[in-house]
Structure 1
Amino acid sequence: MINDFNYNTFVYKPFIMKYLFVIFVSLVVLACHSNKTASSNIQDKTIASTNCPEDGICTFKVLQNKVLTIKKDGFGELYPELSDGKKTVIKFEYKRNEIPNTADSSYSEIIYAEIESNINEIILKDETLSEAKVLFGRLCFCRGATGYYLVKEGSLKISTNNKGAKTYKLNFKVNEIPQIITMFQETL
C-alpha cells in the first residue's frame, strides 16, 4: 500500500489547481469591458435646475437618440413611453420634498418634449407645440387631478449660441389640472 502512494501527485495537485484558478480569474477580469460604439460620443446630459421652487429639487435632462410615444392606458389616460430612436427628448422634472410622517405626500411634475436631434433653432407656440409632443405630468395622490396632459398653450424656444450651447425655454399652461411649474429655461 505504501508503494502506491505518489508523492509528486500529492504535492503538485493543489499547486496546479491554485495556478489554474488564478489564470481563470485573470481571464475573466481582463475579458470584462464596456461595449464601445460609434455613438458613444453622444451622451445624455443632466443638470440640477436652478429654476426650482424652494420646497423641492428639479432636474433637466436631454436624452439623445430617443423618441417619445404618447400612449393611452385601459382607461383612456395618457402616459409617456421612451424608446430608442433618432430624435432627442427633453425632460424637466420637479420633485417636491416629502412631508415627514405623512403618507402619500410625494408630488412631482414632469414635462417631456421631443425634438429633431440636429435642430439648432426652433420656436413653437400654442397649436404647434404638438409638433414637439409637449406633455405635462402631475403625479401625486391628488384625487381627480393627476395624470399626463398634452400642452396646448404656451411656447417652446430652443436656440444655440456661438459656442454651441443650447438654451431650452418653455412657458406653458395646462388648463385641466393645477400646476406649480409653468416655465423653465436651461442652457447646456
Structure 2
Amino acid sequence: MKQYIRNTRMFFIVVMISILISGCSTIKKEVAFKNDTTSIQINNDSCPNNGDCAIAIKKGSYSIETDTTGAMYPLFTEGEGELVEFTYAVPAKEGIADGDYKETIMFQVPKGLKGIMVLKDASLSKLKLLLNKQCFCRGQAGYHLITQGRLAIKRNAKNEISFDLNYQIDGIDIIVSNIKL
C-alpha cells in the first residue's frame, strides 16, 4: 500500500511538472509579441495622481473572442497592423492581497490612416475599442467593449500617431475616461 501511495505521488508530481513546462511555450509567444512595442510619454492630464500610466503602440492586431461563459477577450496575432494600448495602474498597498487596480484601453489603428479620423459612439466598434478592468471588484472586472464616447485619431506627415479619447461604459465604474496623446 505504501508503494502504491509513493507511486501515485510521483505520478502526480511528473504530471504537474509537465503541465508547467508545456505552459511556457505560450508565455514565450506573448513576450515575443511584446518586444515589438514602442513606448510613448503621455500627457500628465490623462493620468490621475495616484497611479502610473503608460501608452504603447504595438505591431499586430486582435480579434474579439468569447469564451464558454460568455465573457469576451482579445485574441492577439502577430503581423501587420498597429494597436494602441493605454494602461493606468495603481499598485496594492503593502500587505493587502488582491489590492492592485488596473484599467487598460486598447484599440486598433485603422489601416492606411492618413490625416484625421473622428469616430463617435457605435462607430467606435470599427476599432475594437476595449477596456480591460483588472481589480477585485465583482461585476466590474474583465473586458468591456466601448461603444459610448468620441475618438479623434490622427497620423501626421512623420507617421506619428496622436489621439484624443473620451468614453464611458454604462454600469462600469472607471477612473480614467479621457486619454490624450
Q: Same fold (TM over 0.5)?
A: yes
The correspondence of residues 158-169 of structure 1 with structure 2, limited to 5 A, is: 158-169=153-164
Segment of structure 1 superposing worse, 172-181 or 43-52: 43-52
SS at match of 2:82: strand
Q: In the alignment, which residue of structure 2 is the partner of 1:105?
A: 99
TM-score normalised by the chain length of structure 2: 0.73
Contact preservation (8 Å) 1:156, 1:171 = yes
Q: In the alignment, which residue of structure 2 is the partner of 1:128?
A: 123
Return the alpha-carbon distance in structure 1 between the equivalents of residues 158 and 140 of structure 2: 42
The correspondence of residues 59-78 of structure 1 with structure 2, limited to 5 A, is: 59-64=54-59, 66-78=60-72
The alignment of Structure 1 onto Structure 2 pairs a total of residues equal to: 143
1:154 and 2:153 matched = no
Return the alpha-carbon distance in structure 2 between the equivalents of residues 164 and 71 of structure 1: 30
Q: In the alignment, which residue of structure 2 is the partner of 1:46?
A: 39
**Alignment equivalent of 1:118, drawn from 112, 118, 122:** 112
What percent of counterpart residues are identical?
29
Q: Do the aligned partners of residues 164 and 89 (structure 1) sit closer, same or farther apart at CA in structure 2, a change above 3 Å counting?
A: closer
Contact preservation (8 Å) 1:122, 1:159 = yes
Contact preservation (8 Å) 2:103, 2:134 = yes
TM-score normalised by the chain length of structure 1: 0.70
Return the alpha-carbon distance in structure 2 between the equivalents of residues 165 and 130 of structure 1: 23
RMSD of the alignment, in Å?
1.6
Unaligned runs of 5+ in 2: 1-35
Contact preservation (8 Å) 2:154, 2:162 = yes
Per-residue displacement from partner, 1:43-62 (whole Å, max 9, x unpaired)? 63112433211111111011
**Whose Rg is larger?**
1
Return the alpha-carbon distance in structure 2 between the equivalents of residues 48 and 110 of structure 1: 16
Per-residue displacement from partner, 1:15-49 (whole Å, max 9, x unpaired)? xxxxxxxxxxxxxxxxxxxxxxxxxxxx6311243
Contact preservation (8 Å) 1:89, 1:114 = yes
Return the alpha-carbon distance in structure 1 between the equivalents of residues 174 and 68 of structure 2: 25
Contact preservation (8 Å) 1:86, 1:117 = no
Q: In the alignment, which residue of structure 1 is the partner of 2:89?
A: 95
Q: In the alignment, which residue of structure 2 is the partner of 1:82?
A: 76
